């Protein structure tokens, strides 16, 4: 079976790749495009470690096929910082020690960014429910939620 040719943008850069029918977007990002910041935790859409955005929408990249990325704009953790400047969420995660092992962190950052783009002033409950699809086994979520609320406040200029 011949591979499929796909053209998309990833973090604003044009990319082209060939992929098998059954390859997920996650497989493509990690194995073909060398973007290993997005992680595979379960491959069944339950842990959120593979969170990316597709045309601005938060998606589990393990649940999407590589071929489905054709013509889409993909956003990954690697595109979050602007040059040397970290995104406020990235800074707040560091300040609040909202990571321990760090493997879930890219997924949480992408998911939190998507939340704040939709709702610039979420309550603690709204943050928790939005992030319920991202599993963390190390932190108990406390410092993650605080970091997101603090970043939201800074981004609002509060």
Partner 1 sequence: MQEKVKDAPGSEFTWVGTRPVRPDGVDKVTGRARFGADMAMQGQLVGKVLRSPHPHARIRAIDTSAAEKLPGVKAVVTREDFQDQPSEFIPAGEMMINYRDVVRNVMAREKALYEGHAVAAVAATSAAIAKQALKLIKVDYEVLPHVIDVVEAMQPGAPLLHEDMITAGVEPAPKTPSNVAKRIEFGAGDVEAGFKQADVIVERAFTTKPVHQGYIEPHACVASVSEDGQADVWVTTQGHWIVRAHCARLLGWDVGKIRVTSSEIGGGFGGKTVVYLEPLALALAKKSRRPVKMVMTREEVFRASGPTSGAHVRVKIGARKDGRIVAAEAELKYQAGAFAGSPVQPGAMCAYAPYDLENVKVVGYDVVTNRPKVAAYRAPGGPISEFAVESALDELAGKLGMDPIEFRLKNAAKQGTKAAYGPKFGPIGLVETLEAAKSHAHWRTPLGKNQGRGLACGFWFNIGGETSVSLSLNEDGTLSLTAGTPDIGGLRASLCMMAAEELSIPMDKIRVQIGDTGQLGYNFLTGGSRATFSSGMATVEAAREVMKEACKRAAKLWELPEDAVEYKDGAVRPAGPNAGKHAPMSLKEIAGIAGKTGGPIAGYARINAHGAAPSFATHIADVEVDPETGKVTVVRYTAIQDAGRAIHPSYVEGQYQGGVAQGIGWALNEEYIYGADGKLQNPGFLDYRVPVASDLPMIDTVIVEVPNPRHPYGVRGVGETPICPPMAALANAVAAATGVRFTDLPMSPPKVLKALDEARAKGTARL
User: Is there binding between residue 57 and partner 1 (CB under 8 A)?
Assistant: no
User: Is there binding between residue 72 and partner 1 (CB under 8 A)?
Assistant: no
The label of the residue with tokens 């979050």 reads 80
Candidate segments 2-10, 66-74, 120-128, 150-158, binder of partner 1 by CB under 8 A? 120-128
Candidate segments 53-61, 63-71, 113-121, 140-148, binder of partner 1 by CB under 8 A? 140-148
User: Is there binding between residue 136 and partner 1 (CB under 8 A)?
Assistant: yes
Per-residue mark of binding to partner 1, 100-119 (x: CB under 8 A): xxxxxxx--x----------
- CB-CB neighbours of 28 under 10 Å: 26
Enclosing H/E stretch for 58: strand 57-60
User: Is there binding between residue 13 and partner 1 (CB under 8 A)?
Assistant: no
**Out of 76, 114, 116, 151, which residue is the one contacting partner 1 (CB under 8 A)?**
76
Size of interface with partner 1, in residues (CB under 8 A): 59
Q: Which residues bind partner 1 (CB under 8 A)?
A: 20, 22, 30-31, 35-44, 46-47, 49, 76-78, 80-81, 86, 90, 93-97, 99-106, 109, 124-125, 127-129, 131-146
């Amino acid at each position: 079976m011949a591979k499929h040719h796909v053209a998309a943008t990833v973090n604003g850069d044009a990319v082209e790749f060939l992929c098998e029918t059954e390859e997920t977007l996650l497989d493509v990002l990690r194995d073909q495009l060398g973007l290993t910041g997005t992680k595979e935790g379960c491959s069944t859409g339950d842990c959120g470690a593979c969170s990316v955005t597709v045309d601005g929408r938060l998606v589990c990249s393990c649940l999407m096929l590589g071929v489905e990325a054709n013509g889409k704009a993909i956003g990954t953790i690697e595109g979050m910082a602007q040059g040397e400047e970290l995104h406020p969420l990235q800074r707040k995660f560091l300040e609040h020690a909202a990571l321990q092992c760090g493997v879930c962190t890219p997924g949480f950052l992408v998911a939190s960014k998507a939340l704040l783009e939709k709702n610039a002033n979420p309550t603690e409950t709204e943050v928790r429910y939005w992030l319920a699809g991202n599993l963390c086994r190390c932190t108990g979520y406390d410092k993650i939620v605080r970091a997101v609320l603090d970043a939201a406040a800074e981004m609002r200029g509060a």
